[in-house]
Structure 1
């Protein structure tokens, strides 16, 4: 792991780092890159238009999951993995389980691909069908995290998502591991046409080298 005192050039601006969901996953990537909080400015991005900040050049790099096929975006090697989990209300029939199967989740309504989010990535997040061929009913619209939590609290919906959300869910929402979906690879993306500054390139390299995903 890089030494935080030497990993950024003196006087370099903070890396503008786009994140969504739990900041703890992004913080782990930052630590693995040998950075402290002063070297990185975390900026939340909207899942309905996830790449707007990069394309508007308001971000230097962003955290993404699964492989992107966006021609204008470049992608790092995996820098982490995020185990899969079902997010449900505490009243839900599956809420007290130690783990669940994706086959069981097909009994409940899930969430549609939001806005301009790539449908091919959403198919990895919320598979249209289970391995046994059961259809996963993607019925509900995705919105804000707060809106998601409120909907889960009031229905039997399931959000097929990631274990990292257990750091931001309120007590009335439960995060249940999914035993038969593989963890999601986590990578860094940046605008291909815009050559990253030296401090951003070094951050990407250090995140790859410090990763536990190798």
Structure 2
């Protein structure tokens, strides 16, 4: 298997989208398709099942991915260690995170980076949604794991590390607390929360919608600055709130119940960095993140 064939196969297995694969590899979609077909001829069977709407791995493709992805990650790590040693990559790297950060991938990402760059001291720093992007902009942190969407001209969205559903946090004893799922359309009479100035309005509106799908207004109550503050207000009966599903694990409280929301899109967490030249330490961490994602079968579900 040639290197380009391997990289095309692995990238498409992660993205399951020809356009995004082409963008990552800086190739045309036609070249991606041609390379994949050439590899499938060598193997003797399809590696992906593709229609006009969806791309998914075939059973054979999944088996090949599970066999070669760890080997590819090890090879990349070996090359990265050699490059880091040659460049003398060391010092301190400050990585911010909102909420649960990269979730279950946090450990694998840090382990991968330490193996590649043992001379770099990684310091994890929590951010809050009162100003989720401020520390990155100010240079107080070098990279940031945070919830999408992020549509800022001075910031670039890197690899997606988590894709998870969303749930509704309600106080124990709330009329909805016994439900197995709930629709956003049902929440027009409830009170959500605002956010302290600093978070982009489009970002908060995605996570805490101001209207139901049919356009009915959902009133906003007190402004909050952190997950802990939000959960405290929910637990004391001052409102309800959509949150990502991992909040039920990392911010669980005995006075709060979490109910699946079945008509809102899932949320992604990605690694964000400033636009412009990426320092060697940050670039190495981004590469380590991609390698950990690949080695673990793609972005972590909740």
TM, length-normalised to structure 1: 0.84
1:31-46 equivalences in 2 (<5 Å): 31=107, 33=109, 35=111, 40-46=122-128
Find out whether 1:192 has 2:270 as its counterpart: no
Cα gap change, 1:40 to 1:173, in 2 (>3 Å): farther
Match of 1:176 among 247, 251, 259: 259
Structure 2 unaligned spans of 5+: 1-69, 115-120
Say if 1:32 and 1:206, in contact at 8 Å, map to a contact too: no
Say if 1:79 and 1:207, in contact at 8 Å, map to a contact too: no
1:79 match: secondary structure: strand
Query: Once superposed, which parts of structure 1, at least 4 consecutive aligned residues long, lie more than 6 Å away?
Result: 36-39
Find out whether 1:202 has 2:287 as its counterpart: yes
TM, length-normalised to structure 2: 0.61
Say if 1:101 and 1:180, in contact at 8 Å, map to a contact too: yes
Take 1:13 and 1:98, find their aligned partners in 2: how far apart are those partners? 49
Say if 1:20 and 1:44, in contact at 8 Å, map to a contact too: yes
Cα gap change, 1:203 to 1:59, in 2 (>3 Å): farther
Take 1:50 and 1:33, find their aligned partners in 2: how far apart are those partners? 21
Take 1:206 and 1:36, find their aligned partners in 2: how far apart are those partners? 8
Say if 2:158 and 2:286, in contact at 8 Å, map to a contact too: no
1:1-214 equivalences in 2 (<5 Å): 1=70, 2=73, 9=84, 12-13=90-91, 15-23=93-101, 26-31=102-107, 33=109, 35=111, 40-155=122-237, 157-167=239-249, 168-197=251-280, 198-207=283-292, 209-210=294-295, 212-213=298-299
Structure showing greater Rg: 2
Structural RMSD (CA)? 2.8
Cα gap change, 1:156 to 1:84, in 2 (>3 Å): same
1:141 match: secondary structure: strand
* Count of aligned pairs between the two proteins: 212
Take 1:195 and 1:99, find their aligned partners in 2: how far apart are those partners? 43
Say if 1:76 and 1:204, in contact at 8 Å, map to a contact too: no
Identify the structure with the greater helix proportion. Answer: 2
Q: Which has the higher contact order (CA 8 A, sep 6+)?
A: 1
Say if 1:60 and 1:200, in contact at 8 Å, map to a contact too: no
